[in-house]
């Protein structure tokens, strides 16, 4: 018998994995989402809907969470009708959130009191790969728990990387995001500088993509300068700010001095303070270009 799956968070990144699990024959129960469209679609395909996280947890073997922050995860676990209230011996929580590893370890300790185990499984790649079943998953936790879930995880991921004990996957994801989002911020600033200095950003694109400074993030940001399109990277500035905040705390906890990433974080802080938190990361080009126009 296939494991019964409870899925919390069927938004931009969660919808694809939930649909693919359902199509693979896994009995699926959802928790309602503020955007009803993906919930209604999945229910129409045969999923069940629970009213609370506790109700969902009571009726499944594996709970998968894909939400936007550790603060939301903490409410989901600790609330009166939360995951802990429905947990039982032998269940596993798979957290695909990009989260604070200290919070992750604390939540695992709470769930362990009820016999529920936890792995952290943050994703890389974009909503497109999520819909296509080609995510990268970073996996932290007990090897036996991950082994038991491999058939399930294979349904919606192309690559799976084991990072070590619980919390290590969230740590690694934060470092990964610091690198990738930092390059996105540099690309946006570089494109603005070229334009302000009278160099066509297309020339910059041609040169960089032929050399060592090339990256997928550069290619996803540059359409903002070349084609006035900011949809090349479906990741919001608000989420970038959140992830960078988690990364900075993680770096400080490890005794590091995050000088470069602190500057990038300040840029994301300003972007969200100006009301751009729901814009995608390539919007940085428009914002920085606007600052140049105002100062000219």
Residues 6+ away with beta carbon under 8 Å from 215: 180, 183
3-class SS of residue 163:
strand
Count of residues for the chain? 296
Are 270 and 246 in contact by the 8 Å Cβ rule? The answer is no
Q: Is 242 a catalytic residue?
A: no
In this structure, what are the phi and psi dihedrals at residue 220, rounded to the nearest 5 degrees? -80, -25
CB atoms near residue 24 (< 10 Å): 16
* Diameter of the chain measured on Cα atoms: 67
Selecting among 3, 75, 173, 242, the annotated active-site residue is 173
Quote the CA–CA distance of 43 and 25 in Å, as a whole number.
14
* DSSP assignment of 46-101: T-EEESSHHHHHHT-SEEEE--S-HHHHHHHHHSTTSHHHH--TT-EEEE-S---H
Distance, in Å, from the CA atom of 265 to the CA atom of 247, rounded to the nearest integer, reads: 10
Catalytic residues: 173
């Amino acid at each position: 018998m296939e494991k019964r799956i409870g899925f919390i968070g069927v938004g931009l990144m969660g919808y694809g994995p939930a649909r693919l699990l359902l199509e693979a024959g896994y009995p699926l129960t959802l928790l309602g989402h503020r955007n009803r469209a993906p919930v209604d679609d999945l229910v129409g395909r045969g999923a069940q809907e629970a009213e609370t996280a506790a109700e969902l947890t009571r009726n499944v073997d594996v709970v998968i969470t894909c939400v936007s922050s550790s603060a939301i995860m903490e409410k989901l676990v600790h609330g009166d009708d939360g995951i802990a209230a429905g947990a039982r011996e032998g269940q596993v929580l798979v957290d695909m959130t990009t989260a604070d590893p200290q919070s992750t370890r604390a939540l695992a300790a709470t769930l362990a009191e009820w016999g529920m185990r936890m792995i952290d499984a943050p994703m890389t790649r974009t909503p497109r790969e999520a819909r296509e079943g080609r995510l990268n998953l970073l996996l932290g936790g007990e090897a036996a728990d991950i082994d038991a879930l491999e058939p399930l995880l294979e349904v919606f991921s192309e690559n799976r990387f084991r990072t070590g004990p619980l919390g290590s996957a969230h740590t690694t994801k934060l470092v990964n995001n610091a690198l990738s989002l930092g390059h996105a911020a540099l690309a946006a600033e570089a494109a603005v500088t070229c334009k302000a200095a009278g160099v066509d950003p297309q020339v910059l694109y041609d040169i960089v993509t032929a050399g060592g400074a090339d990256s997928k993030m550069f290619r996803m940001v540059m359409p903002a300068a070349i084609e006035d399109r900011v949809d090349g990277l479906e990741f919001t500035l608000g989420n970038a700010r959140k992830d960078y905040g988690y990364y900075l705390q993680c770096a400080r906890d490890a005794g590091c001095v995050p000088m470069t990433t602190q500057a990038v974080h300040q840029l994301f802080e300003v972007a969200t303070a100006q009301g751009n938190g729901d814009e995608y990361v390539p919007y940085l080009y428009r914002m920085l270009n606007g600052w140049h126009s105002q100062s000219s």
